[in-house]
Amino acid sequence: QEYTLVKMKLIGKAPEKLSKVKSVIYLVAATLRPETMYGQTNCWLHPDIKYIAFETTENNEVWIATRRAARNMSYQGFMKVNGEVNVIAELSGMELMGLQLTAPLTSNKIIYTLPMLTIKEDKGTGVVTCVPSDSPDDYAALTDLQKKQPFREKYGITDEMVLPYKPIPIIDVPGLGNLSAVTVCEKLKVQSQNDRDKLTEAKELVYLKGFYDGILLVGEFAGKKVQDVKKDLRKYLVDRNEADTYYEPEKLIMSRSA
Ligand code: ZZB
């Protein structure tokens, strides 16, 4: 699986365990939808997942992801020594909540790390970028936080980290409008991020349509079809040091070749 690794830069106060780090720190999210980065509203982490901060050779930056993802990266030329991960600190998602970040392409100047309870530890980097306009899972999880003050409080999330952030219209999907995830979640009456069956259905509905028929409404590639600009968009981000390509070994392929 070929992902775009989106780099979100830590700009505010670093967690205590990273206070001595001099290098620039990034949280890195794996996505198949680089064209949706115009609509990022926050960065998701799972409070109970363990993440690591590790050294990379990319401008000596320090990145944050799961250990498993860092291991994969160590075989993809991101580390000094192939197969070796230089760990600076281990942090739970909880220790990384409410951090201030900047993210590429989005019109939000600052975004925050927030809790998402459905993140899988064994997929991507465990860091997920939130695009509530086009991802039903993201819309449901952000709505949960916006509606439920006790939920915010439990994770030390303050109002200003959540309440000002609205889904941004970035892609027109014929039949589903310019906030396709919102349309579909409302149609299926999704109640929360734990409404798994409905969210799976919602994702299927927006995914194919968004990819094949979606038209970008904003940015460099406005007016173009999503499927025609996906590659160019990733290159645009990579050239600006805002993304990389990250490969996830596929279990299926490995067992086939064995
Ligand atoms: C931005 C984005 C915008 C995403 C969108 C989706 C959508 P897939 O297709 O099933 O392989 N993701 C990445 N890692 C994790 C994880 N560890 N746990 C849970 N979710 C994760 O899923 C790839 C997508 O799943 C990624 O792309 C990421 O969210 C999320 F408009 O990033 B995406 C209809 C989906 N739309």
Ranges assigned E (strand) in the chain: 2-10, 25-31, 42-45, 50-55, 62-65, 87-92, 100-102, 111-115, 128-130, 171-172, 215-216, 243-247
Q: What is the pLDDT of residues 225-236, one digit of tens each?
A: 999 999 999 999
Complex ipTM: 0.98
User: Tokens in use for 76?
Assistant: 């993809």
Residue 258 clears pLDDT 50, i.e. is over it: no
Q: How many CB atoms lie within 10 A of CB 108?
A: 18
Coil, strand, or helix at residue 242?
coil
Q: Which protein residue's CA is at the shortest distance from atom 26 of ligand 1?
A: 31
164 neighbors 150 (Cβ within 8 angstroms): no
Cβ partners under 8 Å of residue 154, min gap 6: none
CA distance 225 to 98: 35
Specify the pLDDT at position 200: 97
CA distance 71 to 86: 10
Distance of CA 143 from the midpoint of ligand 1 (Å) = 17
Distance of CA 20 from the midpoint of ligand 1 (Å) = 32
Q: What is the pLDDT of residues 44-68, one digit of tens each?
A: 999 999 999 999 999 999 999 999 9
Q: pTM for this structure?
A: 0.96
Q: What is the pLDDT of residues 201-255, one digit of tens each?
A: 999 999 878 778 899 999 999 999 999 999 999 999 999 999 999 999 876 555 4
Q: What is the pLDDT of residues 66-116, one digit of tens each?
A: 999 999 999 999 999 999 999 999 999 999 999 999 999 999 999 999 999
Pocket lining: 117 vs ligand 1, CB cutoff 6 Å: no
Q: Which protein residue's CA is at the shortest distance from atom 27 of ligand 1?
A: 31
Q: Distance from first CA to last CA of the chain, Å, rounded?
A: 18
